[in-house]
Structure 1
């Protein structure tokens, strides 16, 4: 999982290189989930595809998630229709 920063994208590139070099022998499936996205993820998806990474999905930035986190509330208490929660469910389905 990565955010949309340049540093985050470099990190996934480095992880893939490590896996390709056999340094992560237990890593059978590799892909990316973009987290806390605010804008169009087209460029992020293109970068991941250029690396040969499967894209499992993206989870949007969500003020309700931020509020729960800052209040120490469990994210398991989020309403069923929360956009970030719905996106996380889609990612889970894509991964499995």
Structure 2
């Protein structure tokens, strides 16, 4: 038998548990959260919350994560709802109950 080389030994290592396990579970959790929360919060706010949490988990600076998630969620919402004419859930805040929002 030939001895294992260092590259073979590194590829055979088990993935470490802890944060990597949470990182693997976070996208499915985010999808389930979107399904249940978008009807009440609206698509734009739900997308912003999901993006913010994912950015914080990737160790992004909090103010950058907040600004980026809000701007990207706003852009996605307007592209889908106004240009592509795909209806997205508006939620409580955008149903016309608060007249100062759009």
Structure with more strand by fraction: 1
Higher relative contact order (CA 8 A, sep 6+): 2
TM-score by length of 2: 0.23
The structure whose Rg is larger is: 2
TM-score by length of 1: 0.24
